[in-house]
Chains A and B, each alone.
Chain A
Amino acid sequence: QQPVQSPQAVILREGEDAVINCSSSKALYSVHWYRQKHGEAPVFLMILLKGGEQKGHDKISASFNEKKQQSSLYLTASQLSYSGTYFCGTEGEYMTTDSWGKLQFGAGTQVVVTP
């Protein structure tokens, strides 16, 4: 089952902050974040494991709240290079045939950063 991302799109001016949320209806083992620029392949940003950890990639950070079964990606002091579509991918908690080895992606959040 695919996670739900919100918002669908966000427009920012350079230097502004944004938060992208990723929610799942099932218990999660990990959450992955990828960014895809127009016409290109998705590129890995970070992985978060259950345990509520936070991670950072430049000025992009993320948190994972396993109790709420959700993750948030924080874009801080956004730069033009942050524009793209951000996808979260989730792995189910339990190693069943339904979840094992499968990364289910959300529909993506389009981020546009303007000068």
Chain B
Amino acid sequence: DTAVSQTPKYLVTQMGNDKSIKCEQNLGHDTMYWYKQDSKKFLKIMFSYNNKELIINETVPNRFSPKSPDKAHLNLHINSLELGDSAVYFCASSQDLVRGQEKLFFGSGTQLSVL
């Protein structure tokens, strides 16, 4: 069983479209995250949810909207896609909010290409 699974693995779309990426974890963790990895391999945190509550919201354009229907799921919806949104998006989870003890479990990533 995959611990953190996200779909789709690849997403190719046109500028201006709206798309969603889904993430599910079966580890019983309380906290989930979205990270963006750009072409230079920088991993940057975008959002984190703890028990369905938004905890971290980095300076991300409001075209990006996370939704957590329950603590096992965290989806990412992106409106009006732009070329600069092309990246690999990783979902991750941890038992609780990262504070020295909590390791992150990453999903396999979604490679988003905006044409």
Contact = CB atoms under 8 A, between A and B. Distances in A.
Interface string B50-80: 1000011000000000000000000000000
A81 B94 CA distance: 26
Interface residues of B, number: 25
B98 A103 contact: yes
Contacts of B98: 91, 101-103
Given A40-B108, A44-B105, A103-B104, A108 B99 contact: no
Interface of B: 4, 31, 40-45, 48, 50, 55-56, 90, 97-101, 103-109
Given A87-B43, A89-B43, A102-B98, 8 more contacts: A2-B42, A40-B108, A91-B99, A101-B31, A101-B56, A105-B44, A107-B42, A108-B42
Interface of A: 2, 29-30, 32, 34, 40-44, 47, 49, 85, 87, 89, 91, 95, 100-105, 107-108
